[in-house]
């Protein structure tokens, strides 16, 4: 399927690895010009080179912490006016409800709620003027089915989800769509470290921990960054103009629900 977005300009935040990289790769395959961001310059440049070599698109890199005002200013400066914005950042650490103080919540809200809102606020007016735009926020399956030890993430992502629910309906008539993409467990560095932690906790090998994790999913496996990226690219395509304010869950059916 031709996604109809060749030549469009996209920013993919937090994209040197994992799900962000998967989204960048799929958008590049569709012919989109990219601005990529991550804190570490080396991995970011390596990913940019890999994407240029694979798809021949123009890729600009900005090494910066997207969760800071200074980092966002650098990224926005290099971006100019975008057609497509994919919001992403690392998730807050796990813990127990008694661990989290005011400042921990502020940090989580800054990273996973206020950062994507600030980037949308900066880019939506230009998209509205052009009469076309796509925003995809990478959130988490925990928005639908909370993970108790991720209370900071649950809280911040719920806030973003509420913002998107309203704002997406205010901008839809201008040809601009905002949706969230909710990953269940995917095969990124995070999945490896979770399997390592489970192996240590349960006194089993990492392979055994990964096998137990995989068999708990209806598909018998975890997702890939390429599958995740392809879904993101479709949500950014010309075909997805009637998809507004949705929370698209990509978890292999792990969340057991009829709706």
- State the residues that interact with ligand NAP by CB under 6 A: 14-20, 37-40, 43, 65-67, 88-91, 138, 140-141, 183, 185-186, 188-191
Shortest reach from residue 57's CB to ligand NAP, in Å: 19
Nearer to ligand NAP, 28 or 66 (CB): 66
Nearer to ligand NAP, 3 or 75 (CB): 75
Nearer to ligand NAP, 33 or 67 (CB): 67
* CA terminus-to-terminus distance, the chain: 28
Nearer to ligand NAP, 130 or 190 (CB): 190
Shortest reach from residue 128's CB to ligand NAP, in Å: 26
**Continuous H helices in the chain:** 18-29, 41-55, 69-79, 102-109, 115-130, 151-171, 189-202, 206-215, 225-235
Shortest reach from residue 89's CB to ligand NAP, in Å: 5
With b meaning 16 or more CB within 10 Å and e meaning fewer, what string describes 30-52?
Answer: bbbbbbbbbbeeeebbebbeebe
Structure tokens at 100: 């989290």
Nearer to ligand NAP, 171 or 209 (CB): 209
Sheet containing 133-138: give its strands across.
Answer: 59-63, 33-38, 9-12, 84-87, 133-138, 176-183, 247-250
Nearer to ligand NAP, 75 or 171 (CB): 75
Shortest reach from residue 88's CB to ligand NAP, in Å: 6
Shortest reach from residue 123's CB to ligand NAP, in Å: 17
Structure tokens at 91: 């998730």
Shortest reach from residue 226's CB to ligand NAP, in Å: 12
Whether the Cβ atoms of residue 101 and residue 209 lie closer than 8 Å to each other: no
């Amino acid at each position: 399927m031709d996604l109809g977005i060749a030549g469009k300009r996209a920013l993919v935040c937090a994209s040197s690895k994992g799900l962000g990289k998967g989204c960048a790769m799929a958008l590049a395959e569709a012919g989109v010009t990219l601005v990529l961001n991550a804190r570490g310059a080396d991995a970011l440049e390596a990913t940019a080179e890999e994407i240029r070599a694979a798809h021949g698109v123009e890729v600009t890199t900005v090494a910066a912490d997207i969760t800071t005002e200074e980092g966002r200013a650098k990224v926005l400066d290099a971006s100019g006016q975008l057609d497509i914005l994919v919001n992403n950042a690392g998730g807050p650490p796990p813990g127990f409800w008694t661990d989290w103080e005011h400042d921990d919540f502020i940090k989580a809200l800054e990273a996973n709620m206020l950062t994507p809102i600030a980037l949308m606020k900066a880019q939506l007016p230009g998209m509205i003027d052009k009469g076309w735009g796509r925003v995809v926020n990478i959130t988490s399956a925990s928005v639908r089915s909370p993970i108790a030890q991720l209370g900071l993430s649950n809280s911040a992502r719920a806030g973003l989800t509420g913002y998107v629910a309203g704002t997406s309906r205010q901008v839809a008539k201008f040809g601009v769509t905002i949706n969230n993409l909710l990953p269940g467990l995917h095969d990124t560095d995070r999945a490896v470290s979770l399997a390592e932690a489970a192996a240590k906790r349960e006194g089993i090998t990492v392979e055994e921990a990964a096998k137990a994790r995989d068999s708990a999913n209806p598909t018998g496996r975890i997702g890939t960054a390429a599958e995740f990226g392809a879904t993101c690219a479709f949500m950014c395509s010309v075909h997805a103009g009637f998809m507004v304010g949705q929370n698209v869950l990509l978890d292999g059916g792990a969340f057991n629900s009829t709706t």
